[in-house]
Amino acid sequence: MIHFGTTQNGEDVQKITLAAGDLTVQLLTWGAVVQDVQLAGADRSLTLGSDQLSDYEGDMRHHGALIGPVANRISNARVRLDGMMYELERNQDGRIHLHSGAQATHLQVWDVVEVTPSAATLAITLPDGMCGLPGTRKITARFEITAPATLTMTVHGTTDATTLMNFANHSYWNLDGSETYDGHRLWIAADRYLPCMQDDYPTGEIVDVTGTDMDFRAEREITVNRPPFDNNFCLSDTDQPLRDVLTLTGGSGVQMTMGTTATGIQVYDARDAQRPGKTRYEGLAIEAQAWPDAPNNAAFPSIKVTPDAPYSQTTQWRFQA
């Protein structure tokens, strides 16, 4: 564990190196960011990161981060819980609540609980009212590498009052080190998806992928804007045991297989998420999470968390060259 940088508020940020088998991963205590992923046989980082903390505090604030307590969008920036209405920060277009606002977990320094050569546990406490939601919430995130090349993230969250939780790792992936993700191939184990409004939140419809450009049940090549991505793929209606749900394969032959317990996986094409000096559409954000805007859609799986029913998500990335 080494010093990575100092935040604008004067807080120290550490970088943690984990390694086992053919995989080496760098984590930051800022935002629980997955900053760098190196696979033996590939001469580049497979994730889109930066060596500058100022980038993560700025335009790259979502890159690699663990976003919560509620990732994605709440369309009307308000939620009702136990008969109480909670107003949330309107940080997209003055109307929409995006990625939990300015106090979210990806904009905080996490505490280090434990570090070993191949695993690290980070933790953060969100006091009652933080991010506009009730409950003192205690979150832990454990990252572990197992040989030959698997990274597993396990997130747990507890609360002392009914609240909402929907965490998502927001890493961007380009397995070829190329200018854009053109030429990658994608497979997703989803027979439904959520179409979106112009403002990128779900319309409320749950649509069969058959006959649409969102059908990835057979692996196929993707290119920029064919199709455009900022949609949730519906994996299940309830959390499931860990299962493979997606593969991304680069033209170089490097492959990433993702497994998750979550009900959905959001794919975003980085149209508005440039790294400094890089192009748009450099990589794909692939975010295992619950379905977005669930509090406003009764047909979506609930993201309510109570003292008796804590939050849990396990997501896994397996790499091969």
Q: What DSSP line would sit under 209-274, residue for residue?
A: -TTSTT--SS-EE-BTTBS--EEEEE--SS--SSEEEEEEE-TTS-EEEEEESSSEEEEE--TT-P
C-beta atoms surrounding 217 within 10 Å: 12
Sequence-ordered list of residues with C-beta below 8 angstroms from that of 82, at least 6 positions apart, any chain: 162
Q: Which helix (H) or strand (E) holds 62?
A: none
Closest by CA to 310, choosing from 107, 125, 133, 165, is 165
Q: Cα–Cα distance between 76 and 51 in angstroms, integer?
A: 36
What radius of gyration do the chain's Cα atoms show? 18
Q: Cα–Cα distance between 88 and 285 in angstroms, integer?
A: 25
- 39-54 pLDDT, tens digit each: 999 999 999 999 999 9
Peptide bond before residue 134 is cis, with ω within 30 degrees of 0: no
The half-sphere exposure of 193 on its side-chain side, counting CA atoms within 13 A, is: 22
- Token pair listed for 30: 């800022």
Closest by CA to 229, choosing from 280, 169, 295, 290, is 280
Q: Which helix (H) or strand (E) holds 10?
A: none
- Report pTM: 0.97
Q: Cα–Cα distance between 216 and 210 in angstroms, integer?
A: 9
Q: Cα–Cα distance between 187 and 207 in angstroms, integer?
A: 18
Counting as low any pLDDT under 50, the low residues of the chain are none
Tell me the domains of the chain and their CATH numbers. 2-320 (2.70.98.10)
- Token pair listed for 267: 């794919």
